[in-house]
Chains A and B, each alone.
Chain A
């Protein structure tokens, strides 16, 4: 009767393996980092127009000086969408008028921002409700100032 018989050795090594698996150090779980945050920037109409969604760039639009990243709604606001005119532009007047025509945009990109002074009460209310919807749905990624504004970034 021997203690070092093959079957004993087999059982012993099985035991060692089991003990190892029970006590082996466990590495804490790590998750990959999320996407890096977008930097809040100050845009002018000239720099904003680049973000019109062409060539897979993000789609931004501005409402009363706040720039929204509407890329999740690319089908609407991006190229080929019903509101594509607003991409990369100040959309305040268009939203207030419920009109998506080119006439609603300030054509001269160097001009001061549209002050919207001529809007009536209904239109302002309209604009307000659009703005609220945007703030709920989309991220504010910057603010829009006119070309030549002291806050505008120097190019």
Chain B
């Protein structure tokens, strides 16, 4: 008893001794401590997504074939459920409970022109806009103007009897209008990348048997193209603002009589009153024509990918639904593509934006390798679609060398927030993190970066997990990183927009989209029971041309059920 008392007494004495030293410094320390504890408490938030959803991002089938892995699918469409095959378009007047149509490109343009719907389903009459970025300026086009161009050009091509139209343009309103004109007026559109050497273009036109060509005035030598392409009947020139005064009707003597030329803006000027501003009437039960793109391959002329309308809508719907509800494109978004629309991922993301009534911005310099800072100059987008090459190039060339000690400190603090599963908000640390690396950018409204990686691009441009983290911090935007392949509309797989985990090495590509399923084939049976089995990527589903394709690239499925290239 006496012992206990003495211990208590001792503790009491020590306490009073310690507290006796309380002075002004102690008050300051205690203040800082209390402030920090309070900050820590107030600033702690639930992560943006439940960590278990990132720990297993796709579902595996319970059965597999010998020599293959299990089949992996998006969490939206697990094993046993049908894959997403369309936009689920519900025509006005249809009862609410009926299943919607798959839809096609025509429905997308119709939805864009209709404008976004109020929550009660009545049209608000507010449309998205289309901008063309020209250096520091942006030109605005209204959707009804573009509808008019679709009608004029579509009617012209329909009258001339064209069945296959090759479009060789830089990213522009005319390119979009040509694609939609094809959908409404029933001709197949071949999107040929621009800036190709004349003989490659010639080979392309021969291969796809194009009977009409839409190209930029002055960008190619007509006599060369016409000589190799006897089937070509009509060339439609798109003249830029600066050279519209020239006469583009000149035809080389050897094809005079068989080849006709027209000029886009003259045609629109001449027939615009006849064509009208309304979206053409169409029968949704008739199939929309195909859209072909060219996939760069070892073969110099490239590989034609014959996307059916079904492939395109399945991919557009899947790209839309892959984003969580609060991250989807909305009418207040401005979506800028700095990747060429001749590639399916940027094209379909832009279609997704149009279908969501977002505004879009196009840039004529867009391509797989562009200067990120220059290409984003004219507009202030909320969403940017870029290629992995552009981003890795910008990271290597500008961001990394300009990260000083101050930026590094800010980056470190923000990286802790990302680690905790939260997107850092704009604060003092985000300001100091951005001091060096992105000072030349004016991307104040940016919220989302959609980056796509070609499966056969060189491994050097594959982004690492750390690069993605830095891009998130320095641009203040969330990122989705997608893997694209020949024969697959949209993407094979795409990362979760809330997946901020910074792992080591090259980043994974997330889970398959809801319109595709993924199997690794050519797996040796001895390895198949192994956790890290690797094999060839085989993709099937409604977004895949002919339903199924096997790529030459090898990949593995990581512990969190995401796809990683070998």
Contacts and interface: CB of A to CB of B under 8 A. Distances in A.
Interface string B469-502: 0000000000000000000000000000000010
B267 to A, nearest CB: 57
Interface string A31-46: 1011111111100000
A30 B559 contact: yes
B560 A30 contact: yes
Nearest to A26: B419
A140 B69 CA distance: 16
A28 B503 contact: yes
B66 interface: yes
B29 interface: yes
A29 B560 CA distance: 9
Given A1-B24, A33-B559, A141-B63, A11 B52 contact: no
Interface string A1-41: 11101111011101100110111011011110111111111
Given A6-B18, A18-B33, A141-B63, A29 B52 contact: yes
A37 B63 contact: yes
A8 B55 contact: no
Contacts of A10: 18
Nearest to B56: A31
Contacts of B17: 6
Interface in B507-566: 528-529, 531, 559-560
A122 B225 CA distance: 68
Contacts of B37: 18
A99 B107 CA distance: 54
A5 B65 contact: no
B508 to A, nearest CB: 12
B21 A140 contact: no
B61 A36 contact: no
B239 interface: no
A139 interface: yes
Interface string B390-423: 0000000000000000000000010010011000
B344 to A, nearest CB: 31
Contact of A7 (B21, B51, B62, B413): B21
Contact of B55 (A12, A21, A30, A35): A30
A33 B17 CA distance: 57
Contacts of B36: 15, 18-19, 22
B25 A40 contact: no
B40 interface: yes
Contact of B33 (A11, A23, A28, A29): A11
A22 B23 contact: no
B381 to A, nearest CB: 30
Residue of A15, A19, A140 with highest tally of chain B CB at under 10 A: A15
B51 A18 contact: no
Contact of B62 (A23, A30, A38): A38
Given A6-B21, A18-B37, A28-B503, 8 more contacts: A2-B23, A5-B21, A19-B36, A31-B55, A31-B560, A36-B529, A39-B528, A40-B65
